[in-house]
Chains A and B, each alone.
Chain A
Amino acid sequence: MSPDTFLSALYIFGLAAFLGYLVISRVPPLLHTPLMSATNAISGISLVGSIVTAGGHYGALSTALGFVAVTCATINVVGGFWITERMLKFFRRRKGSE
């Protein structure tokens, strides 16, 4: 990685941090648990890195590590989004309303 790519990655990091601060500080305490599971599911995006590791031609060890990583990251993504959905279904404005 050249210093230039590193710098542009740093730019993205800085902007994402700022954006994250703005968006997340608006989430009410009511939804802090779903927030935690949702952000956790989203950061399961490291699945993308795992897929490249598991499917590339980088040798047996990489494939093995990649397979375990894909499995773990998928548990993270699927489990995280699923349970968030389960939780969010509970929140109703009035009794009996959907």
Chain B
Amino acid sequence: MSHYFAEFSYLLASVLFVFGLKGLSHPDTARRGMWLAEFGMLMAIIGTLLHRDIVSYEWIIAGLLVGGAIGGAIAHYVPMTALPQQTALSHAFGALAAALVGISEYHRRSANLGQFQAVALGIEVLFGSLTTTGSIVAAAKLQGLLPGAPMTFKGQNIFNLALFAATLGAFVVVLAVPSAAIAFYLMAALSFVVGVMLVLPIGTADMPVVMSLLNSYAGLAATATGFAISNNVLIIAGTLNGFSGFILSVIMCRAMNRSIFNVLFGAFGRPADTAQTAQAGEMREINAEDAAMQLAYARQVVFVPGYGMATAQAQHVVRELGDTLEKRGVTVKYAIHPVAGRMPGHMNVLLAEADVPYSQLYELEQINADFPNTDVAVVIGANDVVNPDARDNPQSPIAGMPILEVDRARLAIVLKRGKGKGFAGIENPLFFKEHTGMLYGDAKETLARLVQAVNQA
């Protein structure tokens, strides 16, 4: 009887998960959708607790309480600017759970394991382990505990190839002889190392792709768990997650005009960026008062946020400046590039947190036609996503990447920390254009000065 109840709760959960994700197609229905998904999760957990195989509850309850407290505390207190790290850690926890269940299942049944189960357990542990360590490295990079630039060392190519070959080799041995315990545990151990080595050579600017991929792998690990223990809700939920992550990484790659392969392995054998011609001309520095004048008497102003806005925690003062301008009758819009920030949709969440209504947030395709009618475009800590070279110069390292065409606005004001080339080390001709004014300094302070100056204008 309890068996049927569990199966029924899983079916209900699967349906509710799909409805939950369907709700995310619009901000108005999103929360209700998530409540459905949460209810589905609760039902699946209750159904499992009534499972006849379960004989003792103390460790389950302890785990649920400890995990719930930790998860709740993290989610409640983490600042929105640290969302990418938090999400990466969350991937790590989910993937670790899948890997541990896989290892335990193998330990318990290795003597009489069928071929199909060996495949499923192998994939589960492989993806679970590499996602765990990969996500931890990604989180450390995002948090600044590890350098954000690609980390490479001599012989890395050969080391990694050997590592991948050894891991796959161990996997093949497990497939051939499911009871070969040493090969299985070796594969698990190597997979943890693979995760580290995969993410180390990737720079933080490429994190949107990496985050999406790790998201996808965490889901695939859950799917494989479902295959291994013949549980359909795991297969369904894991596949939904796996596909969502995969779709997001494709979208992110397209927004950078790069292949997934290039993002993952681009740090290896990249030619030194010597081919770039030095920019002719001077960057024109303007002061906050002049900039404020232009803003105050504009008809339309478009803000273009990048990761620099997040690091400066400037989203609230951006909204304040936007409000001040709106009160003067200026039309204010926000242009969001798909890969702005460190994870998909990062900028949207930050601006929404700062109380910018989502009707003012525009996607690339929606806003580009509008730049010629824009009096002032304000670039806040964004660089590559507004680089006109991506459109005009086929030799540029980022040629073909879709950009926000800020250079077509009547005036572009660029808020930048210093005169350096920025993270990717690519020259940006936008900064040298005649109708571009540079405002150096901390974005938050600069914006606060602009608010003040606009109020006095």
Chain A residues in the interface with B (C-beta under 8 A): 1-3, 5-6, 9, 12-13, 16-17, 19-21, 23-59, 61-63, 65-95, 97
State how many angstroms separate the Cβ of B64 from the closest Cβ of chain A. 5
Query: For B231, what are the chain A residues with a Cβ–Cβ distance below 8 Å?
Result: 48-49
Chain B residues at the A interface, C-beta cutoff of 8 Å? 10, 13, 17-18, 20-22, 24-28, 30-31, 34, 37-38, 41, 44-45, 48-49, 51, 53-57, 59-60, 62-64, 66-68, 70-72, 74-76, 78, 80, 83, 86-87, 90-91, 93-94, 96-98, 100-101, 103-105, 107-108, 114, 116-117, 120, 211-212, 215, 218-219, 221-223, 225-227, 229-245, 247-248, 251, 336, 338, 343-346, 348-349, 352-353, 355, 357-359, 361, 363
Contacts A35-B244, A76-B97 given; does A1 touch B359 at CB 8 Å: no
Task: Indicate if the CB atoms of A34 and B349 lie closer than 8 Å.
Answer: yes
Q: Helix, strand, loop or mixed for chain B's interface?
A: helix
State whether B104 touches A29 (Cβ < 8 A).
no
Partner of B34, one of A27, A38, A66, A72: A38
Q: Are A16's CB and B236's CB within 8 A?
A: yes
In the bound complex, residues from chain B placing their C-beta under 8 Å from that of A1 are 114, 116-117, 120, 227, 230
Pair A93/B55 contact, Cβ less than 8 Å: no
Q: Which residues of A contact B83 (CB under 8 A)?
A: 33, 83, 87
Contact A31 B108 (CB under 8 A): no
- A36 touching B235, Cβ below 8 Å: no
Residues of B within 8 Å of A70, CB to CB, are: 59-60, 63-64, 67, 97
User: A54-B60, A61-B104, A82-B71 given as contacts; is B343 within 8 A of A33 (CB)?
Assistant: yes
Q: Are A9 and B235 in contact (CB under 8 A)?
A: yes
Contact yes or no, B358 A9, CB < 8 A: no
Q: A12 contacts which chain B residues (CB < 8 A)?
A: 232, 235-236
Q: How far in angstroms is the closest Cβ of chain A from B322?
A: 10
A49 to B125, CA, bound (A): 14
Chain A residue with the shortest CB-CB distance to B109:
A58
Q: How far is the CA of A30 from the CA of B28 in the complex (A)?
A: 12
Nearest chain A CB to B352's CB is how many angstroms away?
4
Asked whether B27 lies within 8 Å of A46 as measured between CB atoms, the reply is no
Q: Closest CB-CB distance, B387 to chain A, in whole Å? A: 20
A79 to B83, CA, bound (A): 12
